[in-house]
Amino acid sequence: MAEPDWVQHAVWWQVYPLGFVGAEQNALPAGAPLAHRLPQLISWLDYAVELGASGIALGPVFASETHGYDTTDYFRVDPRLGDDADFDELIREAHSRGLRVLLDGVFNHTGRSFPPFQETLSQGPSGAKASWFRFDWPVSGWTPGTEPEYADFEGHHHLVALNHAEPEVAGFVAGVMKHWLARGVDGWRLDAAYAVPTSFWSSVLAEVRAEFPDAYFVGEYIHGDYAAAVSDEGLDSATQYELWKAVWSSLNDRNFYELAAALERHNTFLAGFVPLTFIGNHDVTRIASKLQDPALLPLALVVLLTVGGTPTIYYGDEQAFRGVKEDRAGGDDDVRPAFPASPADLSPQGWTTYRLYQELIGVRRRHAWLHSARTSVLSLTNEQFIFVAESDGDALVVALNLADEPADVDVTELREREVLLAHTSLLAGTGSFDAQSGGVKLPAQGWAILS
């Protein structure tokens, strides 16, 4: 399945809406007035465009109990964010700026307040929706008021696992997807896609694509066989956690060999699909906090925006926000903060990083073929790494130095590539290229992109 053509130019700005707008931690009480907060995002759309993004990847926006990943009504905007009119206005404003919109679909599990689940708890195993879930009904017989055991998501008992072998569940999920695609969204991120059977996604996505062939579908995969998952399930893409880990780990360990190995494996993915690449998201410690030496942050950005993939920038990372994820209740709050009313209210300290993102996205825009580019090593040591990203005869050379002292790297292979050597010049960065020697000079913790 080929991804939609428009994805070749996609650079996502990912936003976690409930955090971004400063919404309450828990669902509003019954009868409480709506909080029309979703329009707050509209004042940030120009900021995203100026950054260089071409789309907004929204976290959960549907009614839920707490953090959005415990959905209670898939056809209703969360009252903490607003209503359908607010949603429609956001879509209109985004599209008027050329921004695509991606929604986050949590279809592996639901919140306990999901009506079909509550109905089944009161009706028992004979309930109309009992087959939607994986209950362990008492052998001795169920009695009203007795709650049976049920499958959940990775031990989180408040997240009720759906029964993906039930055809009605497949029909329900397809209906949800089509409903919001008809309202103007451009695609779906499928949360915890790795926990859902392959047969479920393949049938659901086939039905949805029949009506919306230009929609984009990316599955959340943390481990496993990405390529097989994308192929077998009919997805366009999968989240590239392996590359995310290799980027920060290589910089922290002063070991570019790990990154080189990850890029070699990344090439094998690109042979079948274009992964969704990132160095930060709503589930992980921010890259500015993950790196032991914050001065190496530019090198992480360079990798993200010069290798093959569909890049995603997590809101705040473009301002070098810090935040640490912790394994405890509320442990995600630090990486899901509220944004101010407008860009003018941001700290002046983050704009240097924002401008670097602009520069690197600009490079990517002028070399759209980077979307599916493969990489190959030109020079590799623990602390210096020079690779070429190329596709169909086009190429860029990327040079990275994480050492605390300058490096003068001889690139013999550049001399052998006469076309590269004849036309190579510094496109961006802090280093330089000597056409006579074929050497790349990099300052301490420096980088260069050569065209």
| Domain residue ranges in the chain | 5-125+149-372, 374-450
**Model pLDDT for residues 265-308, shown as the tens digit of each residue:** 999 999 999 999 999 999 999 999 999 999 999 999 999 999 99
Dihedral, CA atoms, 205, 209, 210, 214, nearest 10 degrees?
180
User: How is residue 77 written in tokens?
Assistant: 């905007």
* pLDDT computed for residue 417 by the predictor: 57
The span from the CA of 263 to the CA of 310, in Å, is 15
Taking the alpha carbons of 175, 181, 185, 188 in that order, is the dihedral positive or negative? positive
Look at residue 141 and tell me whether its pLDDT is greater than 90: no
The yes or no reply on domain 5-125+149-372 and CATH 3.20.20.80 is: yes
Look at residue 146 and tell me whether its pLDDT is greater than 80: yes
Q: Please provide the DSSP assignment of 132-189 as one string.
A: GB-EE--TT---TTPPPEE-EETTEEEEEEB-TT-HHHHHHHHHHHHHHHHTT--EEE
Strand 432-434 versus strand 71-77 pairing type? unpaired
The distance of Cα 365 from the centroid of its chain, to the nearest Å, equals 19
* pLDDT computed for residue 169 by the predictor: 98
Q: Looking at residues 205-210, what average pLDDT do you find?
A: 98
- Interior CA angle at 418 toward 415 and 420, to 5°? 90
Q: Which of 426, 380, 428 is nearest to 407 (CA)?
A: 380
> What CATH class has 374-450?
mainly beta
Q: Please provide the DSSP assignment of 311-327 as one string.
A: EEEETTGGGT------S
Mean pLDDT for all residues in the chain: 94
What is the maximum span of the chain, computed from C-alpha positions, in angstroms? 85
